[in-house]
Copies of this chain bind each other. A is one copy, B any other.
Amino acid sequence: MDFGTVVHTDTASGAPLALLVCEHASKRVPASLGDMGLSAEALDSHIAWDPGALAVAQQMTAQMSASLVYGGVSRLVYDCNRPPEAAGAMPTKSEDFDIPANVAMSPEERQSRIDNIYTVFSRELSDQIKQSRSSLDLMVTIHSFTPVYHGKPRSVELGLLHGRDDRFAQAMMTTLPSDPPFVTRLNQPYSAADGVAHTLDAQALPNGLLNVMIEIRNDLIQTSDQQAAMASYLVPWITETLAGFQERKTL
């Protein structure tokens, strides 16, 4: 099965300190899958992708020494932040929507999506980490979440999430400005217990990279001005937090 471009990589010059990852950057559904049995509205909504997340990540790479790996297909086809064995990897249901194309899926098609999307995405991440091993200290995954979920508004605006290694997320909470411009919470609106730390645990942890997942409420990053402002807020905060670790390393 041909799914077209499944992963994009922007490789930074020199010695990147950070690898940014945006698993849910794209809402593209390959032509071979038609509309997956979904309405145009569903295919455009947050169940298909993380609106605004890619633009923020791209703005961040322009402001810091970082490479960026981002997905090229909708999370409805394969959610690259989930291992193949997870139910959410090729979800049959997302929030209020059934996903017909994922209910009526043959074992061959399931395997083809794993091989041609997840494996290709994972391998590209591993290769980028290998390429920059001498300079790389940090992985940051950038996500966005919907302001209203199952009809309930969410008050949290920025979530810092961690997987098995909580050091960077905890350190960012410590370096949080005393009067932060956004309502910021650790492990909200969900946490690793919800299975969202796969990329961090599978790729950053075994490679000794500090790591954190940043979740941004998507109504805050709708315009390119908002996206640039969010990047300009996150980059110095991340850089300062990272500098704290580097000082400790050289002691």
A76 at the interface (CB under 8 A from B): no
A13–B116 contact, CB under 8 A? yes
A117 at the interface (CB under 8 A from B): yes
The distance from the CB of A143 to the nearest CB of chain B, in whole angstroms, is: 21
- Counting contact residues on chain A (CB < 8 A from B), the size range is 20 to 34
A192 at the interface (CB under 8 A from B): no
Question: With a CB–CB cut-off of 8 A, which chain B residues contact A11?
Answer: 5-9, 72, 120, 124
Contact with B along A1-41 (1 / 0, CB 8 A): 11111111111111000000000000000100000000000
Contact with B along A115-126 (1 / 0, CB 8 A): 111001001100
Q: How long is the Cα–Cα vector from A116 to B86 in the complex, in angstroms?
A: 39
Closest residue of chain B to A7 (Cβ to Cβ) is B11
Question: Are A13 and B8 CB-contacts (below 8 A) given A124-B131, A127-B131, A131-B123?
Answer: no
A4–B62 contact, CB under 8 A? yes
A61 at the interface (CB under 8 A from B): yes
Question: With a CB–CB cut-off of 8 A, which chain B residues contact A14?
Answer: 1-3, 112, 115-116
Contact with B along A192-230 (1 / 0, CB 8 A): 000000000000000000000000000000000000000
Question: Are A13 and B9 CB-contacts (below 8 A) given A124-B131, A131-B123, A131-B127?
Answer: no
A146 at the interface (CB under 8 A from B): no
A12–B6 contact, CB under 8 A? yes
Question: With a CB–CB cut-off of 8 A, which chain B residues contact A127?
Answer: 127, 131
The distance from the CB of A191 to the nearest CB of chain B, in whole angstroms, is: 30
Q: How long is the Cα–Cα vector from A159 to B65 in the complex, in angstroms?
A: 39
Which 4 residue pairs of A and B lie closest in terms of their CB atoms, listed nearest first?
A: A3-B13, A13-B116, A9-B9, A14-B116
